[in-house]
Structure 1
Amino acid sequence: MNNITLIFIMVLAGLASGNSQPKKDKDQPLKQVVDQAFVLAEKQSLLMAEKYKSQEGRLPKTYEKGKDVSSDSRWWCSGFFPGSLWYLYGNNKNAEVLKYARLYTGRVEREKYTTDNHDVGFMIYCSFGNGYRLTHDNSYKEVMLTAAKSLSTRYNPKVGLIRSWDHNKDKWQYPVIIDNLMNLELLLWAANQSGNTKFREIALSHADKTMKHHFRPDYSSYHVVSYDTTTGLPHLKQTHQGYSDQSSWSRGQAWGLYGYTYLYRETKDKRYLEQAKNIANYLINHPNMPKDYIPYWDYNAPGIPDTYRDVSAATVMASALTELSGYTGKKLAQKYMKIVETQIRTLASPEYTAQPGENGCFILKHSVGSYPGKSEVDVPLTYADYYYLEALSRLKKKI
């Protein structure tokens, strides 16, 4: 058989089997992509739950250099794995997932008394908040109301903001980080549930002062703003996890987008909607935003494109844009959802999604915790998984 005949036979064989070949990811219906992503995520998360069930009080944090890294409830990420399990339970009401969601949520309960940092919102609202949403368990409600009281103790009316950190007092008088926007949702929920308007007043004061002082004219944000406790005005604007004080740390930008999106949902104040749309516009049109919309760890990082992506920034952004699309006109909504679809298809691909049992049983790969701190660089992170599942849950309702 000569080479021409062999090639001809191979071509015919390829044509004959063409209909049996699996579709490329870009040709799969989006609903199928989302459903498959949930299946893989549930397998991984159940493996994770089984791995830690006998380790009393422990919760997954990351997987680094081939080793599991966990924490107790004190770590700011402690509420994310329980929250992930609640999103998985909400997807298909698997009783096994429910069992573990309750188990790991219980491991975070003591944080309802946390008053020494602002992360009580992350810890409690992501875990007990999702649990209450799905089960209406009144014991969960009481935990959240107690946590809201604890969080509100960090508010200084003279400054008008919730203090983020208590360390580095020689440098920061009253540090507030952009991440802190994410904790206001607990206060707004508590105001609605309890009738205590103080919670709402604190949340909106924080949101308004953050909008005024954290953002630059182009709607990028600083990471850390420290306030003078006498004047209530900023005395220092910096970064802690980004490339430089004037750069745009990607997860911080996503926190801002997410925060003002839900603030509009809860208040219907159009100032918050415009802020969210302007932040989205900044991110979408940034010259260093990759075509797949999985951001680099900082939009101004040196070495782009040969530097790390931050999947956690992408998942927060995808979840926020999915919600924001419901508050805009049709043309802008379609634009947002096209970007979300690109992000989800990319994240659901083998490049970013681990197979069951791999990646320390985390769902997604390639996140960056703190590049300047050389901490959690190019690893899975529990909050990347959480916001991915939230984005999938929100997207599934739209398709």
Structure 2
Amino acid sequence: MKKIVVGLAVMLGFCTCAHRPSGTLDVNKALDYCAEQTQRTLAELKTDSGIDYTMMPRNIMADEQHWNCRKATKEEWCAGFWPGVLWYDYEYTKDKKIREEAEKFTNSLEFLSKTPAFDHDLGFLVFCSYGNGYRLTKNPAYKQVILDTADTLATLFNPTVGTILSWPREVKPRNWPHNTIMDNMINLEMLFWAAKNGGNPYLYDVAVAHADKTMKCQFRPDYTSYHVAVYDTITGNLIKGVTHQGYADSTMWARGQAWAIYGYTVVYRETKDPKYLDFAQKVTDVYLERLPEDKVPYWDFDDPSIPNAPRDASAASVVASALLELSTYLPNGTGKRYKDAAVEMLTSLDSDSYQSGKSKPSFLLHSVGHWPNHSEIDASIIYADYYYIEALLRLKRLQEGQGVLG
């Protein structure tokens, strides 16, 4: 029976790698691979008239070999990841030409600092691009874009509820008066940064309030997370926890749990409040306990078709990056356990089972975007590549005795 199930999964194109990762991860070799794939993508983006810097790589379907690009607009939540990849590649290679390309793609997103908020994704859009750009160049213009965008994001905060409204567009169609999605935890980093780098100190309070209310209302007793929390705007109380991209309201959607792990690690970093460190470990442990042998999750931990279900390399990349940071905040025994888990994840992602190799210019295969919407199933997706190269750089810094953050 097992052979039949695995055979069906192979026919469908899903990764069925259930083996424990073996071998030693060579971080520099993995980063060299990323650099090579980045050059391939840049070459692919060039046309006879040059590169359109408003068109950002988004995905490559399983049966395709080239990037599908999308226009950098306020609706395109992934537009900041490709500039972020370029900044990380520049950080590793010190290639001035890569920096020039990073600057040009990043500049295409400046409009976001001057327009009203469309939704919560401004952190993904601006902090992955301008945030990394400022970290590496200290360009004061980049700093101003981040500060202005943080102020824009804060306009979505509802003080009665205590969280940021994630999707204004879903308020009426779904009758979600105030909705907050787990992904929103990642966008708090920009608010924390702005508050301590010349922005309004109120932004810190917004981020903390959001983290606290999410911690209280968006997790089950076993520390698995709901993708979406729906709140009453009058009382501020939770109405219900549901899913939008997971298998069902009651299941653990892999990337949602990954956002929680990453998000609460950042909140601890920025506040040093031990309750967040404890919570980050709790949401991590339930994730680690249920992983398959190769440490790359199925897209939803409760999909009844497992093992005949697609993996999500994007969730593995997000968690690997988060755990490398989390490991530095804990005593050696506990910290080492999380670091070792991250290395196992990266070792699997470094294998032929998950790397795109010569078949595509992306870094990784086997991510899932939006299963219920039949979108980006078993695809290469740009945010998987972003968090993968971020995780590799973090591991390289740790191996060299530096801090995990650049």
Per the normalisation by structure 2, the TM-score is 0.88
**CA separation in 1, counterparts of 2:133 and 2:27?**
22
Pairwise CA distance, 1:166: 1.6
Q: What is the aligned partner in structure 2 of residue 342 from structure 1? A: 344
Query: Aligned to 2:22, which of 21, 26, 31?
Result: 26
The one-letter code of the counterpart of 1:71 is R
Q: What is the aligned partner in structure 1 of residue 385 from structure 2? A: 385
- Work out whether residues 241 and 249 of structure 2, in 8 Å CA contact, stay in contact via their aligned partners in 1: yes
The one-letter code of the counterpart of 1:180 is N
Q: What is the aligned partner in structure 2 of residue 60 from structure 1? A: 57
Q: What is the aligned partner in structure 1 of residue 200 from structure 2? A: 196
- Work out whether residues 73 and 111 of structure 1, in 8 Å CA contact, stay in contact via their aligned partners in 2: no
Q: What is the aligned partner in structure 2 of residue 266 from structure 1? A: 270
Structure 2 unaligned blocks of 5 or more: 1-20, 400-406
Pairwise CA distance, 1:195: 5.0
- Work out whether residues 81 and 125 of structure 2, in 8 Å CA contact, stay in contact via their aligned partners in 1: yes
Q: Deviations over 1:249-277 (max 9, x none)?
A: 00000000000001111110111101101
**CA separation in 1, counterparts of 2:244 and 2:261?**
19
Identity %: 42
Query: Aligned to 1:208, which of 192, 207, 212?
Result: 212
Stretches of 4+ aligned residues off by more than 6 angstroms: none
Structure 1 unaligned blocks of 5 or more: 1-24
Q: What is the aligned partner in structure 2 of residue 355 from structure 1? A: 357
Q: What is the aligned partner in structure 2 of residue 180 from structure 1? A: 184
Instruction: From the CA coordinates, give the structure whose radius of gyration is larger.
Output: 1
The one-letter code of the counterpart of 1:68 is W
Q: What is the aligned partner in structure 2 of residue 370 from structure 1? A: 370
Q: What is the aligned partner in structure 2 of residue 245 from structure 1? A: 249
Pairwise CA distance, 1:79: 0.4
User: Structure 1 60/114 Cα, relative in aligned 2: closer, same or farther at 3 Å?
Assistant: farther
Q: What is the aligned partner in structure 1 of residue 295 from structure 2? A: 293
**CA separation in 1, counterparts of 2:161 and 2:256?**
22
Give secondary structure in 2 for the equivalent of 1:395: helix
Pairwise CA distance, 1:46: 1.7
**CA separation in 1, counterparts of 2:29 and 2:100?**
22
User: What is the aligned-residue RMSD (CA, Å)?
Assistant: 1.3
- Work out whether residues 147 and 199 of structure 2, in 8 Å CA contact, stay in contact via their aligned partners in 1: no
**CA separation in 2, counterparts of 1:126 and 1:56?**
16
Give secondary structure in 1 for the equivalent of 2:368: strand
Q: 1:78-157 maps to which residues of 2 (within 5 A)? A: 78-112=79-113, 113-157=115-159
Give secondary structure in 2 for the equivalent of 1:331: helix
Per the normalisation by structure 1, the TM-score is 0.90
- Work out whether residues 52 and 59 of structure 1, in 8 Å CA contact, stay in contact via their aligned partners in 2: no
- Work out whether residues 80 and 383 of structure 1, in 8 Å CA contact, stay in contact via their aligned partners in 2: yes
Give secondary structure in 2 for the equivalent of 1:26: coil
Q: What is the aligned partner in structure 1 of residue 395 from structure 2? A: 395
Q: Deviations over 1:240-299 (max 9, x none)?
A: 00000000000000000000001111110111101101111111112xx11111000000
**Number of residue pairs the alignment of both structures matches:** 368
**CA separation in 2, counterparts of 1:156 and 1:327?**
31
- Work out whether residues 162 and 236 of structure 2, in 8 Å CA contact, stay in contact via their aligned partners in 1: yes
Pairwise CA distance, 1:52: 2.4
Give secondary structure in 1 for the equivalent of 2:106: helix
Give secondary structure in 1 for the equivalent of 2:301: coil
Give secondary structure in 1 for the equivalent of 2:197: helix
Query: Aligned to 2:30, which of 28, 33, 37?
Result: 37
Give secondary structure in 1 for the equivalent of 2:120: coil
**CA separation in 1, counterparts of 2:42 and 2:235?**
48
- Work out whether residues 114 and 120 of structure 1, in 8 Å CA contact, stay in contact via their aligned partners in 2: no
Query: Aligned to 1:164, which of 142, 163, 166?
Result: 166
Give secondary structure in 1 for the equivalent of 2:270: helix
Q: What is the aligned partner in structure 2 of residue 221 from structure 1? A: 225
Query: Aligned to 1:46, which of 39, 45, 49?
Result: 39
Q: Which structure exhibits the higher relative contact order, with contacts defined as CA atoms closer than 8 Å and separated by 6 or more residues?
A: 2
